[in-house]
Amino acid sequence: MRSAPRANEYRDHWCGDLRDEHAGETVRVAGWVHRRRDHGGLIFIDLRDRSGIVQLVFHPDSSGDAFAVAEALRSEHVLTATGEVVRREEQNVNPNIATGTIEVAVTEATPLAAAETPPFPLDEDTDVDELLRLRHRVLDLRREPMQRAMLLRAQVISTMRRALEERDFVEIETPILGKSTPEGARDFLVPNRREPGTWYALPQSPQLYKELLMFAGFERYYQIARCFRDEDLRADRQPEFTQLDVEMAFVTEDDVITTMEEVMAEVFALADLGLPAPPWERLSYEDAMSRYGTDRPDRRFGLELVDVSDALAGVEFKVFASVLESGGAVLAINAGAREMSRGELDGLNDVARRHGGKAVAWAFVEDGGGWRSPIGKFFSDEQRAAVTERLGGAPGDLLLFAADKRAVAQGVLGGLRLELADRFGLRSGGHDVHWIVDFPMVEWNEDEQRWDPLHHPFTAPSGDLDGDPGALKSRAYDLVLDGTELGGGSIRVSDPETQRKVLEIIGMSLEEAQEGFGFLLDAMRYGAPPLGGIAFGLDRCVALMAGLDSIRDVIAFPKTASGADPMTGAPSPVAQRQLRELGLRLG
């Protein structure tokens, strides 16, 4: 239980902390009127503060002037009240609240503020239009689900700090105004009034600063860091977000992973997720992609991908034959015994297109080994039997196929897995946590005809830097919970020549490397230790732990999907005078 508030003229106890053991005590509480009930002679007020709710009872004989105050109270009025804690009669106990066995018989009450009728109910856990909630966010934050989420967030941050400091980490703040560097996402830029034409950038992450702190000898750093990325938004993405940022010197992958497992196990324990004790399983990137079609797999259900390319050698179905001849693959999943209409099956093509594919082929296994499928006639009995056996098919099972470049087919079936899990409720009630390791270092960008780093260009490579870039592995690792990447990190490059070579592989000239990252390369020349780190998306962690779908529900004042703040009206125009001071003119 939390400590009692410092006694003053408004309160000496939290509403939600009063219990049977306080019976007979005179207490003073303060908060908002959650509900008011007039029972024709007695008035009951549910008073709410951050800690919870306590019932106040006003009696016309014993409450004196306080009874007249109670008659005038309405929802969300602000009140301070004094009275004796008394036990409720057994038939009046409310098991739904922590204070349900007691109530406060009020003798004094002072109204502190009146309130207009809220635009939506605050005393009920009902669906409210999100835009309305965000426009009146102060009121929305009074609702119990939001209070619970924000208090969990505070607990998570507190636990992270304590766990890291117990392991000798030092909290250091890094700049918010920094240099724009080509790290991937678009920067938010801030004009410099003192030198027109020059700009600061808000940090996408503290990545470079935390590496410099390792070079500076602090060895174990952390920060609850605010980060900014000018990207399109989704339910799990905001233009500004918070991450737990960590860096360590003189470490290998195992050191970072083991340390962070200890820290995150303490964090996850706050939500009683029932996860196994560390060490947690490590899954290679290649294994994750081949089995689940994604590098952040949700393993709480099956439907694993199976390569059936070799079983279809010589197939007459032209789509499959053409893909196989061009070096692609035919992958499949056994979706189990499912009832789906032809329209629903055709609708799976939309899922395939959302994930970069063209279409999905389907077949229902029938008694005797045949298939009910529009493509079944193009397969020999041997091919159907081989594929069905490979997929563990039984009569009634739905088999789904994707034929394309291997990576595309994996992405299509990876998306279909999740679609089917949502549609048929396939996920188990538990939780699954694991690491993904052995990532490729780079991936080919077909549009721009260059190599892009799969994580970032400061990740240490594994392999021959003078060979095929596509064959390079990286010393990176991601932590995945229930199909969501919570955090990612890597062992970093600590040698300036290796760093220049990595930047060269991704198409950056020596001049560009020096211009963008010269300060980092120069610092490496003065004795850089082996180092590595990781960052966890705090908003995502809290949302998953709270069982919420959107990170907006665990951020006090979030933006909408368009990046707007309906409460304040941001972003908004500014005065021409401000633009002139900055040397800016709108085109």
Residue 231's pLDDT is what? 84
Task: Please state the length of the chain.
Answer: 587
In the prediction, which pLDDT does 454 show? 87
Q: Which of 505, 464, 507, 472 is nearest to 490 (CA)?
A: 472
**Using an 8 Å Cβ cutoff, are 333 and 311 in contact?**
no
Report how far Cα 103 is from the mean position of its chain's Cα atoms. 40
Other CB atoms within a 10 A radius of the CB of residue 524 amount to 20
Half-sphere exposure of 267 (CA within 13 A, CB side): 28
Per-residue pLDDT, averaged over 264-270, amounts to 98
Backbone angles phi, psi at 565, to 5 degrees: -110, 100
In this model, does residue 233 exceed pLDDT 70? no
- The pair of structure tokens assigned to 312 is 């279809």
The predicted structure's pLDDT at residue 62: 81
DSSP letter string, 125-164? -----HHHHHHTHHHHTTSHHHHHHHHHHHHHHHHHHHHH
Q: Token digits for 160?
A: 């992270």
CA-closest candidate to residue 336, choices 396, 295, 289: 396
The 10s digit of each residue's pLDDT in 428-478 is 889 999 999 999 999 988 888 889 898 889 999 999 999 999 999 999 999
495 pLDDT above the threshold of 70: yes
Which pairs count as long-range contacts for 251-258, CB under 8 Å and 24+ apart, including other chains? Answer: 251/491, 251/530, 251/531, 251/532, 252/491, 252/530, 252/532, 253/437, 253/475, 253/477, 253/491, 253/532, 255/532, 256/477, 256/489, 256/491, 256/532, 256/533, 256/534, 257/282, 257/435, 257/477
Residue bearing the bigger pLDDT, 210 or 516: 210
Q: What is the pLDDT averaged over residues 195-221?
A: 96
Strand ranges, E, within 289-396: 306-307, 329-337, 361-365, 371-372
Alpha carbons 190 and 337: distance in angstroms, whole number: 57
The Cα–Cα gap between 360 and 403 comes to 8
DSSP 8-state class, residue 274: -
Q: Across 395-475, where does the E strand assignment appear?
A: 397-404, 433-437, 442-445, 450-453, 461-462, 473-474
DSSP bridge pairs for 582: none
Query: 107: which 2 tokens?
Result: 């003798």
Query: Among candidates 582, 558, 571, 581, which has minimal Cα distance to 234?
Result: 558
121-175 per-position pLDDT tens digit = 998 878 899 999 999 999 999 999 999 999 999 999 999 999 999 999 999 999 9
CA distances from 474 to 83, 88, 254, 530, 567 (A): 65, 64, 14, 15, 43
Task: Say how many CA atoms lie within 13 Å of 34 toward its Cβ.
Answer: 22
Mean pLDDT of 515-530: 93
Cα separation of 358 and 408, whole Å?
10
pLDDT (tens digit per residue) in 370-386: 999 999 999 999 999 99
Report whether 13 contacts 5 (CB < 8 A): yes
> What are phi and psi for residue 576, nearest 5 degrees?
-55, -35
pTM of the predicted structure, to 2 decimals: 0.92
Output the pLDDT for position 446: 86
Q: Which amino acid is at 487?
A: G
Contact predicate 245/225, CB 8 Å: yes
Token output for 541: 């962690």
Give the other-Cβ count within 10 Å of 336's Cβ: 18
Token pair listed for 448: 């721009």
The rounded percent of the chain whose pLDDT value lies above 70 is 99
List, in sequence order, the alpha helices (H) in 177-335: 207-215, 253-268, 285-292, 318-325
Residue 277, CB-side half-sphere exposure with 13 Å CA sphere: 0
Q: pLDDT tier at 236 (50, 70, 90 boundaries)? A: low
CB atoms within 10 A of CB 443: 14
| Residue 232 reports pLDDT greater than 80 | no
What digits encode the pLDDT tens for the residues 43-79? 999 999 999 999 999 999 888 899 999 999 999 999 9
What residues are paired with 30 via a beta bridge? Answer: 80
pLDDT band for 235, please (50, 70, 90 cuts): low
Helix (H, G, I), strand (E, B) or coil at 188: coil
Q: Is the pLDDT of residue 40 over 90?
A: no
Alpha-carbon gap, residue 243 to 551, rounded angstroms? 13
Sign of the CA dihedral 261, 262, 264, 266?
positive
Taking 90 as the threshold, does the pLDDT of residue 206 lie above it? yes
- Residue 531, pLDDT > 90, answer yes
pLDDT at 1 over 70: no
Q: d(Cα 319, Cα 161) in Å, to the nearest integer?
A: 55
Alpha-helix runs per DSSP H in 459-566 = 496-505, 510-524, 538-546
Residues 418-432: tens digit of each pLDDT = 999 999 999 988 999
Does the structure show a pLDDT above 90 at 8? yes
449-462 burial string, b = 16+ CB within 10 Å, else e?
eebebbbbbbbbbe
Return the number of other C-beta atoms located less than 10 Å from residue 284's C-beta.
Answer: 15
pLDDT over 90 (residue 483): yes
Domains with residue ranges and CATH for the chain: 15-113 (2.40.50.140), 147-284+434-554 (3.30.930.10), 301-426 (3.30.1360.30)
* Mean pLDDT, rounded, of the chain: 94
Average pLDDT over residues 516-531: 94
Is there a contact between 393 and 381 (Cβ–Cβ < 8 Å)?
Answer: no
pLDDT value of position 184: 65
The pLDDT value recorded for residue 261 is: 98
Q: What angle do CA 578, 584, 587 make, to 5 degrees?
A: 120
Q: Is 250 helix (H, G, I), strand (E, B) or coil?
A: coil
